[in-house]
């Protein structure tokens, strides 16, 4: 359970103002966060992987998203994996699995799923230095995908105008803008502006740095930036940072409101 604390209300560059801080357990919330229509939050952590999926080799879950009440999860396997998987869980609890066989040169990492506002496209990403984000037809919601799970192929990509590093999560702020968290040395929060809304073909994305996520803890060591969520109902942006050292059991969730 996350515990809320008083907002710091400190100004942050990039058009956002820090407006609150809360905490969640890293095992169940340190990989990602998504907001539901009722304002409640869905968290994901290493302990969130269902046993049935873990048995199949899907040992890691990334930052989730919610669209039309459906929960989208990004799963990856071990170092020898040749595919990645996206699971969609409907409001009535049915789960459909969509498996993407890795294309030549594609990395196995599957850190997040971000569904476009029109619910037709899903953005994902790879680890390391990258000049793209991947685009897929949104499983279940896009009629080009099988209605009960199955194979999932890429549909174009977002071609970035500069290299990004270790993108952990992205979420849509509008149909032509995403906010992404980088686990680079600066813990950058990035903005990606698209030349037009996603349509399944390659589109250019202009990358700008909004701010650096805070690194606050009573423990010292290496912080890890993780999930991000934009709640369109409240205009609240949230980003996660896993605390270092002995404090790794706790993940800080920073909230931001639009400046001005």
Q: CATH number for the domain including 148?
A: 2.120.10
In the chain, the number of structural domains is 1
Q: 6 pLDDT exceeds 50?
A: no
Mean pLDDT of the region 105-123:
97
Rounded to an integer, what distance in angstroms lies between the CA atom of residue 64 and that of residue 230? 12
Please give the residue range of the domain that contains residue 25: 3-258
Any idea which of 13-27, 38-52, 97-111 has the lowest mean pLDDT? Answer: 13-27
Task: Give 250 or 12, the one with higher predicted confidence.
Answer: 250
Percent of the chain scoring above 70 in pLDDT: 94
> How would residue 260 be classed by pLDDT, with cut points 50, 70 and 90?
low
Mean pLDDT of the chain: 94
Q: 10 pLDDT exceeds 90?
A: no
Q: 93 pLDDT exceeds 80?
A: yes
Q: 11 pLDDT exceeds 60?
A: no
| Cβ-contact 82, 50 below 8 angstroms | no
Q: What are the Cα distances from residue 81, in Å, to 59, 135, 152, 172?
A: 11, 20, 16, 28
Q: Which value, in Å, is the radius of gyration of the alpha carbons in the chain?
A: 17
> How would residue 14 be classed by pLDDT, with cut points 50, 70 and 90?
low
Q: 216 pLDDT exceeds 90?
A: yes
> How would residue 222 be classed by pLDDT, with cut points 50, 70 and 90?
very high
Rounded to an integer, what distance in angstroms lies between the CA atom of residue 26 and that of residue 225? 12
pLDDT of residue 219: 98
> How would residue 1 be classed by pLDDT, with cut points 50, 70 and 90?
very low
Mean pLDDT of the region 143-169:
97
pLDDT digits (tens, 9 = 90+) for 170-196: 999 999 999 999 999 999 999 999 999
Rounded to an integer, what distance in angstroms lies between the CA atom of residue 242 and that of residue 121? 29
């Amino acid at each position: 359970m996350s515990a809320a604390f008083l907002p710091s209300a400190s100004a942050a560059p990039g058009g956002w103002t820090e407006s609150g801080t809360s905490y969640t357990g890293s095992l169940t919330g340190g990989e990602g966060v998504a907001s539901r229509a009722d304002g409640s939050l869905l968290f994901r952590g290493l302990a969130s992987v269902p046993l049935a999926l873990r048995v199949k080799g899907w040992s890691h879950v990334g930052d989730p998203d919610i669209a039309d009440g459906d929960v989208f999860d990004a799963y990856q396997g071990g170092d020898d994996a040749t595919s990645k998987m996206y699971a969609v869980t409907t409001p009535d609890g049915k789960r459909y699995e969509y498996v993407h066989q890795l294309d030549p040169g594609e990395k196995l990492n599957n850190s997040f799923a971000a569904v476009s506002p029109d619910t037709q496209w899903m953005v994902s990403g790879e680890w390391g230095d990258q000049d793209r984000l991947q685009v897929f037809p949104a499983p279940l919601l896009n009629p080009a995908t099988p209605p009960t799970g199955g194979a999932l192929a890429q549909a174009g990509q977002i071609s970035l105008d500069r290299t990004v590093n270790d993108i952990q999560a992205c979420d849509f702020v509008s149909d032509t803008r995403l906010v992404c968290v980088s686990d680079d040395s600066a813990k950058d929060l990035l903005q990606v502006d698209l030349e037009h809304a996603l349509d399944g073909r390659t589109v250019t994305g202009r990358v700008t740095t909004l701010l650096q996520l805070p690194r606050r803890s009573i423990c010292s060591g290496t912080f890890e930036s993780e999930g991000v969520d934009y709640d369109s109902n409240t205009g609240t942006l949230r980003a996660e940072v896993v605390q270092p050292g002995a404090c790794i059991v706790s993940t800080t969730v920073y909230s931001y409101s639009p400046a001005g």
